[in-house]
Amino acid sequence: MLWALPICFAIGALCALKIPVLHFAIVVMAVMAVYTIACVLSGGPVVASLLWMVLFAVSLEAGYVFYHLIAYLIATRVTKQEVKTSASKLRSRYSPD
């Protein structure tokens, strides 16, 4: 089941592209509920299913946050470069003194 965590991370990152955070939270809650019900009905231990449920939710949310963090870092770098280039293009009639 450990292989499912990177998959959940990737799904969370892909969902961050188009799904708003409220809808994504509803999706995460549905995944948690379906997994727990399926695990308990198949005869698995309740404590283990709750632990995996939390791990899946954390992995999904981490992927969602990771995408937004990368997008933020890219946006701030682009903005800084644009500010530097536009500031260098401006010429003042006054001396810097």
Q: Is 30 part of any domain?
A: yes
Q: What is the domain count for the chain? A: 1
Q: What is the pLDDT of residue 65?
A: 95
Higher pLDDT: 23 or 80? It is 23
Sign, CA torsion 24/25/29/35: positive
48-71 tens-digit pLDDT? 888 999 999 999 999 999 999 999
Q: What is the pLDDT of residue 97?
A: 58
Q: Is 93 part of any domain?
A: no
Domain that includes residue 44, residue range: 20-87
Q: Is 59 part of any domain?
A: yes
Q: Is 15 part of any domain?
A: no
Q: Is 81 part of any domain?
A: yes
Contacts of 60 (CB under 8 A, 6+ apart): 8, 9, 11, 12, 15, 24, 27, 28, 31
Q: Is 36 part of any domain?
A: yes
Q: Is 60 part of any domain?
A: yes
Q: What is the pLDDT of residue 89?
A: 62
The two tokens of residue 84 are 């530097």
Q: Is 73 part of any domain?
A: yes
3-class state of residue 4 by DSSP: helix
Is the pLDDT at 12 greater than 70, yes or no?
A: yes
